[in-house]
Structures are given as structure tokens and as C-alpha cells.
Structure 1
Amino acid sequence: MEILVAIIIGSLTAVGTYLMLRMRTFPVIVGLSLLAYAVNFFLFASGRLMLNAPPLLYTDAPHTDALPQALTLTAIVIAFGMTAVAVIMALAAYLNDGSDKLDMENAAPEVTPEERGQ
């Protein structure tokens, strides 16, 4: 089971990183979300993966840790807010420029202080 979880986390991280390196805003946002899912899954799995075991036991038997579950819930809320802000920023950039392409070659040239009149 640990191998499967490691493969899933690695796949989410790889696909998220690939999409983050794209030059369009929508794949960047999807890649950011996939990276957030990978981190959440990693945090959740760090609390110990056990099948058919209750979350807490009053004996000396091994049990899962509740702290990674709380961290995962907090990370989900933060990732949702971060995704919402990124979508709004991408929408504003699209409405201003008319395109969602992140074109670094045709970026606006830097304005020197002399050109600004300072």
C-alpha cells in the first residue's frame, strides 16, 4: 500500500510540475492545484496508513495520528483560497490583455526612472 501511495504522490507532483511550467494560465492553475493535492495526500499519509483500524485506541496497539489529518484539512482550505485568487488574477489578466498566454518574449520593456520623469 505504501508503494501505491508513493506512486500516486509522485505522479501528482510530476504532472503538477509539468503543468506549472506551461505558458498558459489555465494549465498553471491546474498544476498548482495538483501540487496542492499532492502535498495534502502526503500530509494525510504521514499520519500512518492502516487498514481496518480505528483512529484511536486506548490500548498500546498502533494507531493513526490525528495531527496530520488536521493539517490536511487546513491545507485544503488554504489551497482552495489560493486557487480562487489565482483564477481571479488570471481572469483579470485575460480581460486586460485579451489572451491567456504568458509570453515572456513580448513583455513590456523596463521603464527607467528618467523615462518616468523622476
Structure 2
Amino acid sequence: MPLHNFTAVASSLDETDWRLRARCRSEGMEVFFSPNGESKSRRAERESAAKEICGACPVIDWCRDHALTANEPHGVWGGMSEADRRKSLDLGREMRARSLHFLQRHRQN
């Protein structure tokens, strides 16, 4: 669920929910999500500002894990842009493929 759609009241949720402690809750969501027609240079500036906010967030790891697990398609989550997450997931797939190849070769020997 995108953070900009997260409207639950704190009293109705477990106080340990990471989203309630996220630093972005006090920021405008326009920093984290790209508007239509955003230029490349403006996107880089906006993502840099979002990542700076994320860098000081107490729940950055939970947020990043959520974004990677849920395959969030939009926005900066856990200090990672959409492109960062794609690269990370591609790297993970490549590492798994190499590991599988290594194990198959090792079993044959």
C-alpha cells in the first residue's frame, strides 16, 4: 500500500507498526512520488531529497524490505528509488542463478 494512501489512525493499529514511526509521515508525499511529466533532472533532485529524509528514518530497513517484498512499482521507499529497487531485484535474481549454477556443477563433480 503506498504511503500516501495510508490513512489509518494510530490508535486503531499496533503502536509497533513501522509505518507509524516512518519519518516520511511528516513530509509531503510529493517528495517520494513522481508527478506526471516530471523531467529527468527534477526526478533526480526529488529522489535525492527523499533519500536524504529516508537516511535519517528509524524504520528505513522495514520500509525497504516492504518495498522489495511487495514489489512497490512507484516512489522512494526505504531510501531506494524505483530504479534502485529494479537493480536490486535484478542483482538478486542474478545471484540466485549463479548460486544454482554453482550448486549444479558442484553436484556433478
TM-score of the two chains, using structure 1 as the length reference: 0.31
* Largest Rg, 1 or 2: 1
- TM-score with structure 2 setting the length: 0.32
